[in-house]
Structure 1
Amino acid sequence: MSIRIGLFYPNFYADHALSGTVADANMPLESFETHRAVARACEDAQFDYVFMADGMAPYGPKTHEARIRDPLLMAPLLAMTVLGETTHLRCITTLHTSWHHPLTIARMGATLDSMSNGRWGINVVTGAGSFGPPLDPEAVGQFDHDQRYQRAAEAMEVMMQAWSGEPLDFAGDYFTVKGQIVAPVPVQKPRPLVVSAGASDAGRAFAGRYADYTFLPGRMAKDELLRRIGDMRNIAVESGRQASDIRVQMHASICVRETAEEAQKYSDWVAENVDLDLVVEYLNAVRAQISTYDDIYTQMGELQMREIGSVSGARKMHGSADAVADEIEMLHREFNADGIVITLPIWSPDEIRQLGALLMPRLAARGIWEPPAERNHGW
């Protein structure tokens, strides 16, 4: 099967490059024109999908001031612009089951999927979307970690009933719904694509039961990655699914140039402009809330911190097109990666199209990727 290539979509200025300088070098964020241009470039580059993160609060006051994660455009609303500007590009949006009732999510998702002719997917996140105390403790602070996943599982059951178009009849520990809602029926059957990046025992259990894609840090050790995805696939089988129903998407920061020297110059510029105070704030925030990166964000010196500040938890692939294509092929063949979700510190349409022109033909030549048009633009 062809690998899938997606873009970590820029609904923020520089979430994966902790640098005010990099943030300032990007296009105006709050602009329809910007996102129309970026969406068209993604489709021209033959990406399979874009992935939109989301949240409710910055990592802390320093990252807020540097515009690293603030403003953060709300994913399902921005998705309508991206999907409306494209014909085949697919869009995954993050939605927090702690904040949104499953019927609200179901209606939003059904609207996006039906209007895009089946091109929407959901990344289910169970947390509060903030990295300090909950913004609204009464709304999201009353459940512990495992309870949030139990609640998310019930939310999925409610959403799947809603997406069937049949009357709802569900009674659980967290939700009780009965009756009919007014919403379109999604084009995708039996439901839209579901993504989960859960790393804890409860997170892996949720992914094994529901996820089609699981996102994993690109710099995970091979043994740990294979163990984690093996756990999820075993749970999938126990839940009556096929092991192959869960596909691994690995996170990579990519810079492709004609020569390795050109790519290194760009990579050095990003690293030199990393603000270490922002890195410290980011690490403290993420490690306190998200277990996905625990194996990566251990105690480190300045060079390692600049690396984190340049690419977060992604695998760094800054080099010639041939070198980057070789590394992606290695991840596919040795790590069993089914796809790559790309971070671009500078996310201009020109950067996106350059990546498409230089990298995609090389992936095709290696026999690991086919243009979406040759496989009916499927997930």
Structure 2
Amino acid sequence: MTTERLSEYTKFAYWVPNVSGGLVTSTIEQRTSWDYEYNVKLAQIAENSGFEYALSQVRYEASYGAEFQHESTSFSLALLLATQRLKVIAAVHPGLWQPAVLAKFAATADHLSGGRFAVNVVSGWFKDEFTHLGEPWLEHDERYRRSAEFLQVLRKIWTEDDVDFRGDFYRIHDFTLKPKPLNTPARPNPELFQGGNSAAARSNGGKYADWYFSNGKDFEGVIEQLGDIRHHARQANREVNFGLNGFIIARDTEKEAKETLREIIAKANRPAVEGFRSAVQQAGASTSDKQGMWADSTFDDLVQYNDGFRTQLIGTPEQIAERIVAYRRLGVDLILGGFLHFQEEVEYFGKHVLPLVRELEAADNARELLTA
């Protein structure tokens, strides 16, 4: 078990399927839709099933099995207005957004939703989305340097008046945003998420974000990455929460769950997966340590394009609950789940898996009190 602080309980988020093709690049049947009506119902099911967060994806151009996309910030706001408790995280790209403009949008969304809007800063892996729009494609570590400034500017604008920021990418002069977001002691401003895998991503997450999002990882991968991120956070005299991606296949029997996984991979859209693989592994290999996102992902890993199978949340409710709690013991604060048939499976998870997770966590917490 980690020597760092443990969250009282695991939080759960789900990927918003605002992009066509679902969360696996496969021709297997997916009773999931990217349209608004489907996603409103899904969001309502999720918040009534114990999910606290939803993450809206960002794609700007038809690509790799994702032919249609709804824009992330506007879609997130729509879901917020259709729910009561769910927090919705909008993924955004520095370089395609100006941070002060996003800060203004976020403040408005925060007021309209009663303080439930959040931002996931995505430094970018898809070169064409920048170059096809006439924007420069920076080298990997430069993209993360830009994201570091982006995160700092957002925080300053949300919390300070007469903001001045003189960076290499952003220059802000005597800028005051009003109204500011709904700051409270429990949540001083919209939560900021940063994802990645490389040294640059980990540094940003530790120094500037509230949350670090990891691609799918096994136990060993989580231990290595989480230790590094917390090192950066301690150096900056702060803490950061850790979210882990996982594709969840919960079935009544282990055999059924594993057969579903086998079918997903057997029916992979090979040209789309290979195209995605070529694009993202170029990005991962371009880092100085060769450890960027997807740098060592296999073909099977990339059928779920955020390595979700690696987390191994596949089996019976009991098996999945035990593995989630094992991740919590390592220091994971949140599981970001993808599903094959979102509405049905999110509801199944809430009924059959989450109660088991809470029972195991309660037992852990009781043992900790006895040994404290």
Q: TM-score range by the shorter chain?
A: 0.7 to 0.9
Q: Is the 8 A contact 1:218 1:313 kept in 2?
A: yes
In structure 2, the residue matched to 1:367 is: 361
Offset, 1:261: 3.6
The 1-side partners of 2:42 and 2:18 are apart by: 11
Offset, 1:182: 5.4
Q: Is the 8 A contact 2:32 2:340 kept in 1?
A: no
The 2-side partners of 1:193 and 1:328 are apart by: 23
In structure 2, the residue matched to 1:331 is: 327
Correspondence list, 1:182-221, <5 A: 183-188=178-183, 189-220=187-218
In structure 1, the residue matched to 2:31 is: 26
Unaligned runs of 5+ in 2: 1-7, 285-291, 365-372
The 1-side partners of 2:191 and 2:253 are apart by: 37
In structure 1, the residue matched to 2:294 is: 293
Unaligned runs of 5+ in 1: 299-304, 371-379
Match of 1:51, SS?
strand
The 2-side partners of 1:130 and 1:364 are apart by: 38
Alignment match of 1:257 (pick from 230, 251, 265): 251
Offset, 1:289: 2.2
Q: Is the 8 A contact 1:274 1:310 kept in 2?
A: no
The 1-side partners of 2:246 and 2:32 are apart by: 21
Q: Confirm whether residue 309 of structure 1 aligns to residue 303 of structure 2.
A: yes
Q: Is the 8 A contact 1:17 1:345 kept in 2?
A: yes
Amino acid at match of 1:16: L
Structure 1 stretches of 4+ with a deviation exceeding 6 A read: none
Note the alpha carbon deviations across 1:92-121, whole angstroms, 9 max, x for none: 111111111111110121122222112121
Amino acid at match of 1:324: I
Offset, 1:147: 2.4
Q: TM-score, normalised by structure 2?
A: 0.84
Q: Confirm whether residue 47 of structure 1 aligns to residue 41 of structure 2.
A: no
Residues 338 and 184 (structure 1 numbering): CA distance in 2 closer, same or farther, change over 3 Å? same
Alignment match of 1:70 (pick from 67, 73, 92): 67
What is the aligned residue count?
345
Q: Is the 8 A contact 1:217 1:251 kept in 2?
A: yes
Match of 2:231, SS?
helix
Residues 121 and 351 (structure 1 numbering): CA distance in 2 closer, same or farther, change over 3 Å? same
Residues 367 and 133 (structure 1 numbering): CA distance in 2 closer, same or farther, change over 3 Å? closer
The 2-side partners of 1:282 and 1:148 are apart by: 19
Offset, 1:275: 2.3
Residues 272 and 148 (structure 1 numbering): CA distance in 2 closer, same or farther, change over 3 Å? closer
Q: Is the 8 A contact 1:131 1:288 kept in 2?
A: no
Offset, 1:205: 1.4
Correspondence list, 1:1-379, <5 A: 1-22=8-29, 25-30=30-35, 32-59=36-63, 63=64, 68-127=65-124, 130-132=126-128, 134-136=130-132, 138-141=134-137, 143-164=138-159, 166-181=161-176, 183-188=178-183, 189-220=187-218, 222=220, 224-241=221-238, 245-290=239-284, 291-295=292-296, 297-298=297-298, 305-306=299-300, 308-309=302-303, 312-314=306-308, 315-333=311-329, 335-347=330-342, 349-367=343-361
In structure 2, the residue matched to 1:376 is: none
Match of 1:7, SS?
strand
Note the alpha carbon deviations across 1:308-339, whole angstroms, 9 max, x for none: 42575012322211111111122222x32222
Q: Is the 8 A contact 1:126 1:152 kept in 2?
A: yes
The 2-side partners of 1:293 and 1:368 are apart by: 35
Amino acid at match of 1:213: W
In structure 1, the residue matched to 2:287 is: none
Match of 1:364, SS?
helix
Residues 285 and 221 (structure 1 numbering): CA distance in 2 closer, same or farther, change over 3 Å? farther
The 2-side partners of 1:44 and 1:254 are apart by: 18
Amino acid at match of 2:46: C
Residues 131 and 345 (structure 1 numbering): CA distance in 2 closer, same or farther, change over 3 Å? farther
Q: Is the 8 A contact 1:249 1:341 kept in 2?
A: yes
Q: Is the 8 A contact 2:216 2:307 kept in 1?
A: yes
Offset, 1:78: 0.6
Amino acid at match of 1:82: L
The 1-side partners of 2:81 and 2:165 are apart by: 34
Residues 18 and 138 (structure 1 numbering): CA distance in 2 closer, same or farther, change over 3 Å? closer
Amino acid at match of 2:235: E
* Percent of residue pairs identical: 22
Offset, 1:176: 1.9
* Mean CA deviation greater in 196-205 or 311-320: 311-320
Note the alpha carbon deviations across 1:124-181, whole angstroms, 9 max, x for none: 1222x6244733475232x332222222222223222221262222222322222445
Q: Is the 8 A contact 1:121 1:193 kept in 2?
A: yes
Residues 312 and 193 (structure 1 numbering): CA distance in 2 closer, same or farther, change over 3 Å? closer
